[in-house]
Amino acid sequence: MSDDPGREFLFSYGTLLLPEVQLDTFGRRVPSDEDVLPGYRLEWTDIDDERVAQLSGMDAHPILRRTGDPRDRVFGRVLELTADELDAADEYEVSLYRRTRAVLASGREAWVYVGV
């Protein structure tokens, strides 16, 4: 993945990794690399947004909760996005999530959606 200053990195652990969600949200399949987010754990939350549930095929989605415990880790992928695609990801994510910066196990800093 490039370190182009015009690129944004987004750590994804859920439905934004699905091909149909990427095609609908970004208009393309997005390059990605495996990575790990330490200090968080995955939980599940119900999704009331019918469009998002229909697109993903799931009415419950994974959601991150910060624990601060380095033994807790979430496995996922880092998506390389444009600024416009990051805005599109914000539109896709429901109000149960907020976007924040995090440092991944690789040392890379990326955006990540966590539970509010």
Residue ranges of domains in the chain, CATH in brackets? 8-115 (3.10.490.10)
The residue whose two tokens read 């015009």 is 6
Provide the residue type at 71 as one letter.
Answer: R
DSSP SS3 for 22: helix
Q: What distance in Å separates the CA atoms of residue 65 and residue 81, rounded to the nearest whole number?
A: 24
Q: What distance in Å separates the CA atoms of residue 85 and residue 22, rounded to the nearest whole number?
A: 10
pLDDT digits (tens, 9 = 90+) for 60-85: 777 888 999 999 999 999 999 999 99
Band the pLDDT of 43: cuts 50, 70, 90. Answer: confident
